Amino acid sequence: MWHKISVYSLCFFLFLSLTNCDTVQEVVNSTLNGSTTSSTPTNEQIIAGLKEALVQGSSKGVDILSVKDGFFKNEAVKVLFPPEAQKIEKTLRDIGAVAIVDVAVEKLNRAAEDAASKAKDIFVDAITKMTVNDAMDILMGADNACTNYLKKTTNNALFDAFNPVIKNSLNQVGASDAWNAVISKYNKIPFVEKINPDLDDYVTNKTMDGVYMMIEKEEKLIRKDPVKRVTDLLKKVFALQDN
């Protein structure tokens, strides 16, 4: 029984630590000082706190990417040319057309940054629909269980929502024009095979990959990095895991 309670408490404070949300802290305080005879949160309190912490945690991951250079200067998620267009990039760089390629890469990432913030509402919707079973699977799951839940419940909705946003962002930040300039320059080279990959779907999928990656990173850090345990309570709870 104690092992089960410890795991519940550990996972609850894991996701709490992804945020500085005062409201979530209030849940902790009311839980630990409540009228129940046990200091352990009830399942209902754990689930309610988990939902709120998940909203804040996913928002933090999105916020990291949705600012200027959130994608462009993060090598882990930076949007590069599509695989089928890498030959275009190499050819243009080889003939000295470096600037036109660099501009296109930057604009692709600006479009991803512009669109990333749209993920928040989709994640919030998925989290509010979380069932008791979903919550328990996350609590008892692997160190990326939260991210896997969000992937499972938001992937299709995220793509559908992102795709038109990406199209708009590509136009708004000048990425479409920069891409067309690259393709036009390449297609003028004698004897090359003409190519023009679907940019909208590619950037949409790369943006989604980046968002999920950052959320997973935030989720794993607190599980593994003692430096992230910024309160005495977190240190105490995760000491159980370390042992």
CB 107 within 8 A of CB 182: no
Q: How many CA atoms lie within 13 A of 212 on its CB side?
A: 20
**How far apart (Å, rounded) are the C-alpha atoms in residues 218 and 210?**
12
**Which is more confident, 104 or 198?**
104
pLDDT tens digits for range 191-241? 888 777 788 889 999 999 998 998 888 777 766 777 766 555 455 545 555
Listed by start position, the domains of the chain span: 53-225
* pLDDT on residue 14: 38
Does pLDDT of 4 surpass 80? no
Q: What is the pLDDT of residue 28?
A: 40
pLDDT value of position 66: 93
Q: What is the pLDDT confidence band of residue 19, given thresholds at 50, 70 and 90?
A: very low
- pLDDT-based confidence at residue 92 (cuts at 50, 70, 90): very high
What pTM, to 2 d.p., does this model score? 0.69
**Contacts within 8 Å (CB) and 24+ apart, 227-233:** 228/17, 229/17, 230/17, 233/13, 233/28
Is the pLDDT reported for residue 76 higher than 90? yes
pLDDT digits (tens, 9 = 90+) for 20-61: 444 334 434 443 444 333 445 456 655 665 666 677 678 888
Q: What is the dihedral of CA 132, 135, 137, 139, to 10 degrees?
A: -130
Note the pLDDT tens digit of each residue in 120-157: 888 888 878 878 777 667 766 788 887 888 888 888 88
Given a cut of 50, whether residue 13 has pLDDT beyond it is no
Q: For the ranges 73-77, 141-145, 175-179, 227-231, which has the lowest average pLDDT? A: 227-231
Residue 238 tokens, joined? 């995760």
